[in-house]
Protein backbone atom coordinates (compact mmCIF):
# COMPACT_ATOMS: atom_id res chain seq x y z
CA UNK A 1 0.00 0.00 0.00
CA UNK A 2 1.22 3.50 -0.75
CA UNK A 3 2.52 5.95 1.81
CA UNK A 4 -0.08 8.70 2.08
CA UNK A 5 -0.65 11.90 4.03
CA UNK A 6 -3.97 12.87 5.55
CA UNK A 7 -5.24 15.83 7.57
CA UNK A 8 -6.49 15.19 11.07
CA UNK A 9 -8.23 17.70 13.32
CA UNK A 10 -8.75 17.06 17.03
CA UNK A 11 -11.94 19.07 17.45
CA UNK A 12 -12.81 21.51 20.28
CA UNK A 13 -14.77 18.92 22.33
CA UNK A 14 -11.80 16.52 22.49
CA UNK A 15 -9.35 19.34 23.25
CA UNK A 16 -11.66 20.49 26.08
CA UNK A 17 -11.79 16.92 27.44
CA UNK A 18 -7.97 16.85 27.58
CA UNK A 19 -7.65 13.74 25.44
CA UNK A 20 -5.26 15.13 22.78
CA UNK A 21 -2.54 12.70 23.86
CA UNK A 22 -4.84 9.68 23.96
CA UNK A 23 -6.02 10.40 20.43
CA UNK A 24 -2.49 10.93 19.07
CA UNK A 25 -1.43 7.72 20.78
CA UNK A 26 -4.04 5.80 18.77
CA UNK A 27 -2.61 7.19 15.52
CA UNK A 28 0.92 6.24 16.55
CA UNK A 29 -0.05 2.75 17.70
CA UNK A 30 -1.71 2.18 14.32
CA UNK A 31 1.54 3.02 12.54
CA UNK A 32 0.76 6.61 11.54
CA UNK A 33 3.37 9.30 12.16
CA UNK A 34 2.63 12.93 13.02
CA UNK A 35 4.66 14.89 10.44
CA UNK A 36 3.11 18.33 11.14
CA UNK A 37 1.09 19.71 14.03
CA UNK A 38 -0.29 22.99 15.35
CA UNK A 39 -2.89 24.22 17.80
CA UNK A 40 -5.25 26.89 16.49
CA UNK A 41 -8.44 28.67 17.43
CA UNK A 42 -10.15 28.77 14.03
CA UNK A 43 -11.75 32.01 12.85
CA UNK A 44 -15.24 31.88 11.33
CA UNK A 45 -13.65 32.48 7.90
CA UNK A 46 -11.14 29.64 8.35
CA UNK A 47 -13.85 27.17 9.42
CA UNK A 48 -16.22 28.24 6.62
CA UNK A 49 -13.45 27.86 4.04
CA UNK A 50 -12.39 24.48 5.36
CA UNK A 51 -15.96 23.11 5.26
CA UNK A 52 -16.97 24.97 2.06
CA UNK A 53 -18.29 21.72 0.49
CA UNK A 54 -20.99 21.65 3.19
CA UNK A 55 -22.10 25.27 2.88
CA UNK A 56 -25.57 24.43 1.55
CA UNK A 57 -26.21 21.80 4.24
CA UNK A 58 -28.68 22.63 7.04
CA UNK A 59 -26.05 21.94 9.72
CA UNK A 60 -23.39 24.27 8.24
CA UNK A 61 -23.98 27.12 10.71
CA UNK A 62 -23.84 24.77 13.70
CA UNK A 63 -20.72 23.07 12.31
CA UNK A 64 -18.88 26.40 11.90
CA UNK A 65 -20.11 27.55 15.33
CA UNK A 66 -18.83 24.37 16.94
CA UNK A 67 -15.46 24.35 15.15
CA UNK A 68 -14.80 27.95 16.28
CA UNK A 69 -15.96 27.32 19.88
CA UNK A 70 -12.48 26.48 21.18
CA UNK A 71 -8.99 25.49 20.12
CA UNK A 72 -8.29 22.56 17.82
CA UNK A 73 -5.16 20.57 16.99
CA UNK A 74 -4.52 20.17 13.26
CA UNK A 75 -2.06 17.54 12.15
CA UNK A 76 -0.70 15.84 9.10
CA UNK A 77 -0.51 12.06 9.56
CA UNK A 78 1.69 9.98 7.31
CA UNK A 79 1.81 6.24 6.76
CA UNK A 80 0.71 3.33 4.64
CA UNK A 81 -2.87 3.87 3.54
CA UNK A 82 -3.07 6.79 5.99
CA UNK A 83 -6.36 8.19 4.65
CA UNK A 84 -8.42 5.01 5.09
CA UNK A 85 -6.54 3.98 8.23
CA UNK A 86 -7.38 7.28 9.93
CA UNK A 87 -11.07 7.01 8.89
CA UNK A 88 -11.13 3.50 10.38
CA UNK A 89 -9.60 4.71 13.65
CA UNK A 90 -12.10 7.61 13.81
CA UNK A 91 -15.30 5.58 13.35
CA UNK A 92 -18.61 6.73 11.85
CA UNK A 93 -19.58 10.44 11.79
CA UNK A 94 -22.38 9.80 14.27
CA UNK A 95 -20.74 8.43 17.43
CA UNK A 96 -23.85 6.35 18.16
CA UNK A 97 -23.10 4.42 14.96
CA UNK A 98 -19.32 4.28 15.47
CA UNK A 99 -17.78 0.84 15.99
CA UNK A 100 -16.61 -0.04 19.49
CA UNK A 101 -13.04 0.99 20.18
CA UNK A 102 -12.98 3.82 17.63
CA UNK A 103 -12.07 7.38 18.63
CA UNK A 104 -15.61 8.64 18.11
CA UNK A 105 -17.18 5.75 20.03
CA UNK A 106 -14.85 6.42 22.95
CA UNK A 107 -14.58 10.23 23.02
CA UNK A 108 -17.44 11.85 21.05
CA UNK A 109 -20.77 13.01 22.46
CA UNK A 110 -22.84 13.80 19.37
CA UNK A 111 -22.77 14.18 15.60
CA UNK A 112 -21.79 17.85 16.10
CA UNK A 113 -19.20 17.30 18.81
CA UNK A 114 -17.61 14.23 17.29
CA UNK A 115 -13.99 14.58 18.47
CA UNK A 116 -12.05 14.33 15.21
CA UNK A 117 -11.95 15.18 11.53
CA UNK A 118 -10.08 13.13 8.93
CA UNK A 119 -9.75 13.63 5.18
CA UNK A 120 -12.07 11.28 3.28
CA UNK A 121 -10.19 10.92 -0.04
CA UNK A 122 -6.83 11.59 -1.65
CA UNK A 123 -8.20 14.77 -3.26
CA UNK A 124 -9.57 16.05 0.09
CA UNK A 125 -6.34 15.18 1.86
CA UNK A 126 -4.31 17.19 -0.63
CA UNK A 127 -6.58 20.23 -0.34
CA UNK A 128 -6.93 20.01 3.45
CA UNK A 129 -3.21 19.55 4.18
CA UNK A 130 -2.44 22.59 1.99
CA UNK A 131 -5.25 24.55 3.71
CA UNK A 132 -3.39 24.48 7.03
CA UNK A 133 0.27 23.76 6.27
CA UNK A 134 2.93 25.12 3.95
CA UNK A 135 5.42 22.54 2.66
CA UNK A 136 8.17 23.78 5.01
CA UNK A 137 5.93 23.05 8.03
CA UNK A 138 5.77 19.33 7.17
CA UNK A 139 8.64 17.27 8.59
CA UNK A 140 8.72 13.70 7.28
CA UNK A 141 11.32 11.36 8.83
Active site residues: 117
Query: With respect to ligand IDP, which residue has the nearer C-beta, 20 or 60?
Result: 60
The runs of H, that is alpha helices, within 40-115 are 44-50, 60-67, 82-90, 103-107
Query: With respect to ligand IDP, which residue has the nearer C-beta, 30 or 60?
Result: 60
94 annotated as a binding-site residue: no
Q: For 41-58, b where at least 16 C-beta lie within 10 A, e where not — what string? A: ebeeebbbebbeeeeeee
141 annotated as a binding-site residue: no
CA angle 58, 62, 64 (to 5 degrees): 110
Query: With respect to ligand IDP, which residue has the nearer C-beta, 10 or 135?
Result: 10
Q: Which residues make up the interface to ligand IDP (CB under 6 A)?
A: 59, 63, 93, 111-112, 114, 117, 120
Q: How far is the CB of 17 from ligand IDP (least distance, A)?
A: 16
Amino acid sequence: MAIERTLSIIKPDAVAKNVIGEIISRFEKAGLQVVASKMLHLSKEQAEGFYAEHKERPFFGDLVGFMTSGPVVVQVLEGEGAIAKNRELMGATNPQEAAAGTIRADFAQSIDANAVHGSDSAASAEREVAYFFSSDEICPR
